[in-house]
Amino acid sequence: MLIIPAIDLKDGQCVRLKQGSMKDVTVFSDAPGKQAKKWLEQGARRLHLVDLNGAVAGKPRNEPAIKEIIAAVGNEIPVQLGGGIRDMETIEHYLDDGITYIIIGSAAVKTPGLLHEACYAFPGHIMVGLDARGGKVAVDGWSKVTGHDVVDLAKKFEDYGVEAVIYTDISRDGMLNGVNIEATVELSRALTVPVIASGGLASLDDVKALCKVESEGIMGAITGRAIYQGTLNFKAAQALADKLGSKAKS
């Protein structure tokens, strides 16, 4: 299982939010490239980037910082990016910049035709991000909760050809109170494409709990605040996931 460090970008800085609130911001670094290099050196096998300003504005807002990160890690590991991606031109532009996986979130819910077209045009490079509260999907930087059921939408998008589904339980994000294992497993059991868990990963116990259900189709977990505040040692978390994964295979 991949433990994936998150780098959330706001005004060119690496930050973390609590439950998606742009008013509740903690700045962890003003050097995104250095931060990315740090995770690479500690054994990260993928990075998760979010353009927070872009998610609110509906268009890219942190491209200089994103390019800095891509330059720092080179072709050594894949980088996935979400936030403010609302059209084919932006997707193509970011792929040309060197992003490996594009995450379409709000746009997938509001204009599913875009997701369908993107999956067809860029097979293997498109993921969908579904953020939910109480099983219902939220959009626009989590500011609006829709009536869409997360499992139903995920099944629909799987048929479009998405590479994976990133599932975030908004109520857990940035709160360091554990991943919503039950909801994540429920979603992964309904799909054949992999699920990446997001929101709440805070300790090695959370890593153990996720590894126990890895066989349900959970390929990784994104972690942010915990590795920046030190409640979770990233290197130890990935080592534990590798150890438990190899035991499960043997």
Q: Name the residues annotated as catalytic.
A: 8, 131
From CA 129, how far away is CA 69, in angstroms rounded?
21
Helix (H) or strand (E) holding 145: strand 144-149
CB 68 within 8 A of CB 33: yes
From CA 98, how far away is CA 112, in angstroms rounded?
25
From CA 197, how far away is CA 210, in angstroms rounded?
9
Spatial CB neighbours of 221, under 8 Å, sequence gap ≥ 6: 1, 2, 3, 4, 179, 196, 197, 198, 201, 206, 207, 210
